[in-house]
Structure 1
Amino acid sequence: MSRVSVLLAALVTVAAGLGVRALLDGGVAKYGGDLLYAVLVHWVILFCRPRWRPPVVGGLAAAVCWVIEFAQLGEIPAVLRPVLGSTFNAPDLFWYLVGAALATAAHAFWARRARG
């Protein structure tokens, strides 16, 4: 994927995340947001490392999300809470995996199409 394509995918992901939070509520908004957060992390990593294979990017995206979630067991500085959250929630770990898996599948699909 080109960096422009990755940037567009990231922008669509941010728009979807904002839409989910604005239009829905409850668990769907909460866990949908978590899922999309992992997708966004995948695109950010891919933007920085466009030659990395989908499973590597997806695994790293899931790991980053998990590290951030476990960091919430300690004190997150107030300025970072809007991006990193502030409260550990174990079910988030599952939804990060789902988001990373979906982004990995999309990335792999686009990579196969680009190769022909």
Structure 2
Amino acid sequence: MEQNPIGAIASISSFNGKRLKVVVVGEGGILLDANCRFGHDRPKNASRPDYLPLPDGRRTQGSIWTDAGVVGTAHPNSKLAVCTIEHLSLAYFFYQLPSGDIVMRRCNMGSEWEWEEGEYA
């Protein structure tokens, strides 16, 4: 029995907690992702406008989102289920097909997040 996914989003953070990737299976099975970097490399950037002021006068850690756009295509009725990290540098994103099969996509988490080509069933 085929059915549309109820939720199709997963996220993973880098081992040091400074970067986050959010992945969505959108309409027609299009895989989209967005990346977020928390904080800034240089302390002088603490006055940047993406730091939010707190009631006690301190500022929150800033975050910068970048849209990586379309990264591939899954089955139109796929449901993104879970993601894990292996060896602190490789993220696995799993999604389920309407047939019940589980498919895996891998993303290298080096200085840039890079999707590997292909899927693994």
Higher relative contact order, structure no. (Cα contacts within 8 Å, ≥ 6 residues apart): 1
| TM-score (structure 2 length as normaliser) | 0.28
Q: Which has the higher helix share?
A: 1
